[in-house]
Amino acid sequence: MYDIPFLDLPPLNGASGTVHLPGSKSISNRVLLLAGLAAGTTAVHDLLDSDDTRVMQGALAALGCTLRNEDGVGSGGGRVLHVTGLGGQLAVHEAEIFLGNAGTAMRPLAATLAVLAATQGGNFRLHGVPRMHERPIGDLVDALRPLGCQIEDLGTPGYPPLRLRGQAGGLLATAAPIRVRGDVSSQFLTALLLALPLVSADRDVLIEVEGELISKPYIDITLNLLARFGIAVQHDGWQRFVIPQGSAYRSPGSVHVEGDASSASYFVAMGAIAAHGGAPLRIEGAGSDSIQGDIRFVDAAVAMGAQVKSGPGWLEVHRGRWPLAGITLDCNHIPDAAMTLAVMALYADSPTRLNGIASWRVKETDRIAAMATELRKLGATVTEGADFIEVEPLTPGAWRPAAIHTYDDHRMAMCLSLAAFNPLAGASGPAMAGMSPPPPCPVRILDPRCVAKTFPEYFEALFGVATADPQDVPVITIDGPTASGKGTLAAAVADALGYHLLDSGALYRATGLASQWDGVAPEDEAGLARLAGLLDLRFGHGPQGSRAWLRGQEVSDHLRTEAAGLLASRVSAVPAVRSALQGLQLAFRRAPGLVADGRDMGTVVFPHAALKVYLTASAATRAERRHKQLISKGNSANIDDLRADLEARDARDKNRSVAPLRPAEDALLLDNSALSIEDSVQQVLGWWQQRRPF
């Protein structure tokens, strides 16, 4: 979703309801690899479906594993992926594998394929996106080469892409302890822990960590999942790990992937900031029984003021202290979720300092630099160092509308979306008493699709629980006569902005259709108004584009017929019908924004719309377009009759006593007689951009 250049978040003022977390990325990719290496078939329930897990699945398929999807049978009704593994034996000895920007795929696969190629023979090339080629892997390579693994740097030494090679029958030098640095990324140790059980048949394999191990909770996840696949790694403390002789991967049959605790952090923060009415924000998928280290983000959020209840698989968050309290915290144990604290810091009443975050510099982007830059765009004062960031709170009047660069980093997009709750900043602070609140700021998220790395439906989840003052939700109205192309233009503009779409004509068309179904006469104004008031009309998407259901029955094609249009034109002249449909139309004004097309969107329904467009085209052009449209659908049509119909309908729409068709005084006129659809869309988007504060 939101495959668009930017998404504008309107100012948000509350959050409540329930969010279902997508599966954990860390667990998903480990489970996929383990299932792919094990003997037997593993049913993986609630796997995360995202960019990072897709590249891992692609890799497994390339290596000869069988992957089969089954919909709607998972423990939670979700999908199940059946992975039949290799049983530790390479089925494919040569492959090119693209791993995007997934560190959780690159590091373990590099180790695994290095070990398998060295012992069973093979030639594998691992590569990714340009940023992947800037993310270090040298410490892992340095740990593997002394064993006898042939690893070739194909670009900058110490970084992907890599070639892994070897001859069948090769032996690895596993008698001596295998040393790996633990202070740059814990993924190097994870990679060895996942790969070396493949060569532990004849002797114990010992791994020794050099330097202080960072991000220990991720090693816990690795050990926990190894145990489920039959490998009981022994360790005392975080220095020495022993994979016992005779270890071999065995599928546990079925594995459930818990919700992503790092993804939960955005909603825990949202609850702490914005769940200030009665109802809490409930997060389902991760809770008190989570094996993920980032669940400890909850403690940090509580320290800042959140009220959190939890149980197995769920959290409930409510605002507690307000404003939030600034904290100083060593974030070594929650490196990813800690980013969320940096944005929560804006809502505090004292500075927040996050220490122990050097690893941020080698993630999807240099997250310390990125976070500092983007928080400053919002108006914040930020100090950064090699391994820390300090953020001053933002006072209510100091927020600025900002276009947030996301650096192809999902977490930047998700964290910074929390800035949209700025209308709440300092709201109950004593300094605000008696003052009129400063204007709330929208927040533009550039390249919002980057969330697909771990949480493809993040913004949908956000809009599902966040509330906005309707006045703050932008509306673009596109009014105009029949067949001017409003519908097409409005849909394209809504698509380009990620906004909701209101095709108000469909409401009148559906009312007309309902009157036919129920035999309500065109003169029965009260009867028509009653139908309009109870209109059970739903919109959605089907394979052929937008669809509509009236009383549960699909009516998309029917609503678009000329007959339905004529009937609509009649019922729409009834004042009581118009007022009965008013509330339904206003309800479409929801975050992030609305594009509404019709006859009176800018004049009556949304008189304060931020941009009003009045679209026209000559009657001849409109008749011609409609003619083409009908012919292309295999309907016969006469162009002169069509034109006469259009002009009659125009006259009725313009001359009726209520909400007659006319441009709003502040509407911008667009005659598209000589324009392509794309030209018209660009014109409207250009006008819109001029009105935005970014």
Site for ligand DC in 470-489 (CB under 6 A): 482
Among 52-60, 75-83, 424-432, 596-604, which window interacts with ligand DC (CB under 6 A)?
Answer: 596-604
We find the least distance from the C-beta atom of residue 548 to ligand DC, in angstroms, to be: 11
By CB under 6 A, residue 508 contacts ligand DC: yes
We find the least distance from the C-beta atom of residue 582 to ligand DC, in angstroms, to be: 10
We find the least distance from the C-beta atom of residue 678 to ligand DC, in angstroms, to be: 21
Catalytic residue selected from 260, 336, 600, 650: 336
CB 151 within 8 A of CB 162: yes
Q: For ligand DC, which is the closer residue by CB, 353 or 649?
A: 649
Give me the amino acid identity at 46.
D
Q: For ligand DC, which is the closer residue by CB, 582 or 689?
A: 582
Strand order in the sheet with 240-243: 178-181, 205-210, 240-243, 234-236
We find the least distance from the C-beta atom of residue 378 to ligand DC, in angstroms, to be: 38
Does residue 650 have an active-site annotation?
no
By CB under 6 A, residue 653 contacts ligand DC: yes
Pattern of binders to ligand DC over 549-588, x per CB under 6 A? ----------------x--xx--x----------------
Q: For ligand DC, which is the closer residue by CB, 423 or 485?
A: 485
Taking CB under 6 A as the criterion, the residue among 444, 449, 599, 622 binding ligand DC is 599
Taking CB under 6 A as the criterion, the residue among 127, 367, 509, 612 binding ligand DC is 509
On the CB side of 568, CA atoms within 13 Å amount to 21
| Among the listed residues 240, 224, 230, the one whose alpha carbon sits nearest the alpha carbon of residue 200 | 230
Give me the amino acid identity at 458.
Y
Q: For ligand DC, which is the closer residue by CB, 463 or 508?
A: 508
Pattern of binders to ligand DC over 20-49, x per CB under 6 A? ------------------------------
We find the least distance from the C-beta atom of residue 568 to ligand DC, in angstroms, to be: 4
By CB under 6 A, residue 600 contacts ligand DC: yes
CB 178 within 8 A of CB 145: no
C-alpha to C-alpha distance for 216 and 222, rounded to whole angstroms: 10
C-alpha to C-alpha distance for 207 and 192, rounded to whole angstroms: 8
Tokens of 572: 């729409």
Give Cα separations from 90 to 112, 145, 245, 667 (angstroms): 11, 20, 21, 67
Query: Would you list the DSSP string of 29-90?
Result: HHHHHHHHHSBSEEEEES---SHHHHHHHHHHHHTT-EEEEE-S-STTS--EEEEE--TTS-
- DSSP character for 176? S
By CB under 6 A, residue 504 contacts ligand DC: yes
By CB under 6 A, residue 505 contacts ligand DC: yes
| Among the listed residues 335, 496, 340, the one whose alpha carbon sits nearest the alpha carbon of residue 414 | 340
Size of the site for ligand DC (CB under 6 A): 15
By CB under 6 A, residue 649 contacts ligand DC: yes
The CA-to-CA distance between both ends of the chain, in Å, stands at 23
We find the least distance from the C-beta atom of residue 559 to ligand DC, in angstroms, to be: 8
- DSSP character for 589? -
Which residue numbers are catalytic?
336
Note the residues at the interface with ligand DC (CB under 6 A). 482, 504-505, 508-509, 565, 568-569, 572, 598-601, 649, 653
